[in-house]
Amino acid sequence: MTPPILSLALPSVTGRVLSIQSHTVQGYVGNKSAVFPLQLLGYDVDPINSVQFSNHTGYPTFKGQVLNGGQLWDLIEGLEENELLYYTHLLTGYIGSVSFLNTVLKVVDKLRSVNPKLTYVCDPVMGDEGKLYVPQELVSVYREKVVPVASMLTPNQFEAEQLTGLRIQSEGDGREACNILHAAGPTKVVITSISMNGELLLIGSHQKNEGQSPEQFKIAIPKIPAYFTGTGDLTTALLLGWSNKYPEHLDLAAELAVSSLQAVLHRTMNDYKSAGHDPESSSLEIRLIQSQDDIRNPKIKFKAQRYD
């Protein structure tokens, strides 16, 4: 006998997330960085691993497998045949090829045919600090096809510049980039890190009604003298988790997400230091499991400042 479909018979109070991201056996990036925090916040999360690597690519070597678009679609068809495709959220992060990204677009359509209210949270992972680390042709696919179907977009400064063609050199530029992205589709945009005058800024924007000016805010984030991996994946997962709990208050969701993230990073840096390691000498694996209280119940230490 076919078991009852609990996602329909017992729908999650918070939500059910399909997360298509990379996976590492050791360490925390991609799904390893996103699934656990979302589960702590009460979500059912079903991960599809776009790659399975031994460790992240910042190590001297890595080995593993890469899922292709056909294999992704096989998984979706398997879920569909058993009527298991009901999701409230789709989350995507690093995607390395055009063919896989095009299949993700098919997945968005398929999931919305089952649940028209599906929220698609897209972290358009393309590069950072002036450098692309995906093929150039992915940029136009994101810009022309993905952005229009996303509900929430979480680019960094460089990615926002790639998607809008706008150089972001001021807060005004950041806000304008959000406006350009709203016009293309997403109602929520969070540029997660803009480097400006020696500090980091997060700029968030929520267009509640079409044709209306969006509510915009910023959060100043102090720079930590260390380099961490998996932070972008964690940030987007936390933004998904908290913005779904506070759908009308993207600024509060961002305060909670940033405060959690900063607590995780400080614990990570302090733990490396106490082990006798110089945090500035190499990239650090985040201390995710040890920070679960900061994820579940963050103390808001970073406040949003609204723009008039």
Token digits of residue 295: 């994820």
For residue 50, is it left (φ>0), alpha (ψ between -120 and 50) or beta? Answer: alpha
Q: How many CB atoms lie within 10 A of CB 220?
A: 14
Residue 113 makes CB contacts below 8 A (sequence gap 6+) with none
Q: What is the largest CA-CA distance in the chain?
A: 63
Around Cβ 26, how many Cβ atoms within 10 Å?
12
Q: Is 190 exposed, middle or buried (0-12, 13-18, 19+ CB in 10 A)?
A: buried
CA dist., res. 124 & res. 147, Å (int): 9
Residue in 44, 123, 173, 233 annotated catalytic = 233
- Tell me whether residue 233 is one of the annotated catalytic residues: yes
Dist. CA 78–CA 76, nearest whole Å? 5
Helix, strand, coil percentages in the chain from 3-state DSSP, rounded to 5: 40, 20, 35
The DSSP code for 291 is G
The DSSP H or E segment spanning 195 is strand 188-196
Question: Which tokens is 136 given?
Answer: 């150039």
What Å distances lie between residue 158 and 170, 191, 261, 290, CA to CA? 13, 9, 20, 31
**Which residues are catalytic, by number?**
233
